[in-house]
Protein backbone atom coordinates (compact mmCIF):
# COMPACT_ATOMS: atom_id res chain seq x y z
CA UNK A 1 0.00 0.00 0.00
CA UNK A 2 1.23 3.54 -0.59
CA UNK A 3 2.66 4.84 2.72
CA UNK A 4 0.94 8.16 2.46
CA UNK A 5 -2.58 7.00 1.59
CA UNK A 6 -4.91 8.00 4.41
CA UNK A 7 -7.63 5.57 3.28
CA UNK A 8 -5.18 2.63 3.21
CA UNK A 9 -4.26 3.65 6.75
CA UNK A 10 -7.94 3.59 7.72
CA UNK A 11 -8.35 0.14 6.13
CA UNK A 12 -5.30 -1.09 8.08
CA UNK A 13 -6.64 0.53 11.28
CA UNK A 14 -3.52 2.67 11.45
CA UNK A 15 -5.68 5.80 11.27
CA UNK A 16 -8.98 6.30 13.11
CA UNK A 17 -12.36 6.28 11.41
CA UNK A 18 -15.95 5.89 12.52
CA UNK A 19 -16.83 2.69 10.71
CA UNK A 20 -20.39 1.90 9.75
CA UNK A 21 -19.84 -1.57 8.29
CA UNK A 22 -17.11 -3.54 6.56
CA UNK A 23 -16.71 -6.81 4.71
CA UNK A 24 -13.85 -8.74 3.13
CA UNK A 25 -13.38 -6.28 0.27
CA UNK A 26 -14.79 -2.91 1.32
CA UNK A 27 -15.19 -0.56 4.29
CA UNK A 28 -17.80 2.16 4.97
CA UNK A 29 -17.08 5.02 7.39
CA UNK A 30 -18.24 8.56 8.16
CA UNK A 31 -16.70 11.41 6.17
CA UNK A 32 -14.73 13.62 8.55
CA UNK A 33 -15.78 16.84 6.73
CA UNK A 34 -19.42 15.96 6.09
CA UNK A 35 -21.44 17.90 3.55
CA UNK A 36 -24.60 16.63 5.22
CA UNK A 37 -25.55 14.66 8.29
CA UNK A 38 -24.81 11.01 7.61
CA UNK A 39 -22.28 11.66 4.78
CA UNK A 40 -20.59 8.27 4.42
CA UNK A 41 -17.65 7.04 2.31
CA UNK A 42 -17.35 3.51 0.96
CA UNK A 43 -13.93 2.31 -0.17
CA UNK A 44 -12.29 -0.89 -1.39
CA UNK A 45 -9.69 -2.41 0.94
CA UNK A 46 -7.33 -2.77 -2.00
CA UNK A 47 -5.65 0.47 -3.02
CA UNK A 48 -6.55 1.95 -6.41
CA UNK A 49 -6.44 5.68 -7.11
CA UNK A 50 -9.74 5.92 -8.94
CA UNK A 51 -12.06 4.35 -11.54
CA UNK A 52 -9.22 4.23 -14.05
CA UNK A 53 -7.14 1.94 -11.81
CA UNK A 54 -9.59 -0.14 -9.85
CA UNK A 55 -10.29 -3.79 -10.75
CA UNK A 56 -13.82 -4.98 -11.31
CA UNK A 57 -14.14 -7.14 -8.22
CA UNK A 58 -13.30 -4.45 -5.62
CA UNK A 59 -15.42 -1.97 -7.56
CA UNK A 60 -18.39 -4.35 -7.45
CA UNK A 61 -17.83 -4.98 -3.74
CA UNK A 62 -17.69 -1.25 -3.05
CA UNK A 63 -20.90 -0.69 -5.01
CA UNK A 64 -22.64 -3.54 -3.21
CA UNK A 65 -21.67 -2.20 0.21
CA UNK A 66 -22.69 1.31 -0.87
CA UNK A 67 -26.10 -0.08 -1.81
CA UNK A 68 -26.54 -1.64 1.63
CA UNK A 69 -25.46 1.53 3.44
CA UNK A 70 -27.78 3.62 1.21
CA UNK A 71 -30.75 1.65 2.51
CA UNK A 72 -29.54 2.04 6.08
CA UNK A 73 -29.11 5.81 5.62
CA UNK A 74 -32.62 6.10 4.27
CA UNK A 75 -34.01 4.09 7.16
CA UNK A 76 -31.93 5.97 9.77
CA UNK A 77 -32.33 9.55 8.54
CA UNK A 78 -35.29 9.61 6.12
CA UNK A 79 -33.68 12.21 3.82
CA UNK A 80 -35.62 13.55 0.82
CA UNK A 81 -32.96 12.01 -1.43
CA UNK A 82 -29.50 10.48 -1.48
CA UNK A 83 -26.63 11.55 -3.75
CA UNK A 84 -24.07 8.92 -4.76
CA UNK A 85 -20.97 10.70 -5.95
CA UNK A 86 -17.57 9.44 -7.01
CA UNK A 87 -14.80 11.75 -8.26
CA UNK A 88 -11.98 10.78 -10.62
CA UNK A 89 -9.18 13.30 -11.11
CA UNK A 90 -8.65 16.76 -9.67
CA UNK A 91 -10.88 18.32 -12.31
CA UNK A 92 -13.75 16.18 -11.01
CA UNK A 93 -13.07 17.26 -7.44
CA UNK A 94 -11.02 14.27 -6.30
CA UNK A 95 -8.78 15.10 -3.33
CA UNK A 96 -8.02 11.66 -1.86
CA UNK A 97 -6.31 9.27 -4.27
CA UNK A 98 -7.92 6.04 -3.11
CA UNK A 99 -11.17 5.13 -4.88
CA UNK A 100 -14.21 6.11 -2.80
CA UNK A 101 -17.95 6.46 -3.20
CA UNK A 102 -19.71 9.29 -1.37
CA UNK A 103 -23.19 8.65 0.03
CA UNK A 104 -24.76 12.02 0.79
CA UNK A 105 -28.23 12.32 2.29
CA UNK A 106 -29.98 15.30 0.65
CA UNK A 107 -32.93 17.39 1.70
CA UNK A 108 -35.13 19.73 -0.33
CA UNK A 109 -33.80 23.28 -0.50
CA UNK A 110 -30.26 22.50 0.67
CA UNK A 111 -27.56 23.98 -1.58
CA UNK A 112 -25.39 21.48 -3.47
CA UNK A 113 -21.79 21.28 -2.29
CA UNK A 114 -18.97 18.85 -2.99
CA UNK A 115 -16.75 19.45 0.02
CA UNK A 116 -17.47 20.26 3.65
CA UNK A 117 -15.54 22.97 5.44
CA UNK A 118 -16.04 21.99 9.02
CA UNK A 119 -14.46 18.98 10.65
CA UNK A 120 -17.16 17.01 12.40
CA UNK A 121 -17.15 16.36 16.11
CA UNK A 122 -15.83 12.84 16.85
CA UNK A 123 -18.55 12.03 19.37
CA UNK A 124 -21.20 13.03 16.83
CA UNK A 125 -19.58 10.90 14.10
CA UNK A 126 -19.34 7.94 16.46
CA UNK A 127 -23.03 8.27 17.31
CA UNK A 128 -23.93 8.63 13.62
CA UNK A 129 -21.92 5.54 12.59
CA UNK A 130 -23.73 3.55 15.28
CA UNK A 131 -27.11 4.92 14.26
CA UNK A 132 -26.63 3.99 10.58
CA UNK A 133 -25.20 0.58 11.49
CA UNK A 134 -28.29 -0.01 13.61
CA UNK A 135 -30.33 -0.02 10.40
CA UNK A 136 -28.21 -2.64 8.65
CA UNK A 137 -29.42 -6.21 8.75
CA UNK A 138 -27.18 -8.22 11.09
Q: Is 32 in the site for ligand 5GP (CB under 6 A)?
A: yes
Q: Following DSSP, what letter does each residue of 82-137 receive, concatenated?
A: EEEE---SGGGT--SSS--EEEEEE-TTPPP-SS--SPPPHHHHHHHHHHHHTTS-
Q: Mask of contacts with ligand 5GP, 65-94, x by CB under 6 A? A: ----------------------x-----xx
**Which of the residues 39 through 68 are near ligand 5GP (CB under 6 A)?**
41
Q: Is 45 in the site for Zn ion (CB under 5 A)?
A: no
Judged by beta carbon distances under 5 to 8 A according to partner kind, the member of ligand 5GP, Zn ion, none in contact with residue 8 is Zn ion
Q: What angle do CA 137, 87, 34 make, to 5 degrees?
A: 60
Judged by beta carbon distances under 5 to 8 A according to partner kind, the member of Zn ion, ligand 5GP, none in contact with residue 47 is Zn ion
The closest alpha carbon to 41, from 98, 106, 1, 88, belongs to 98
Q: Is 14 in the site for ligand 5GP (CB under 6 A)?
A: no
Amino acid sequence: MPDNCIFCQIVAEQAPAHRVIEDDLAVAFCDIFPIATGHTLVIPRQHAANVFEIDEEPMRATAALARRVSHALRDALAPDGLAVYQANGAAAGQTVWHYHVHLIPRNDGEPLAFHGRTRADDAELAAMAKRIAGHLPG
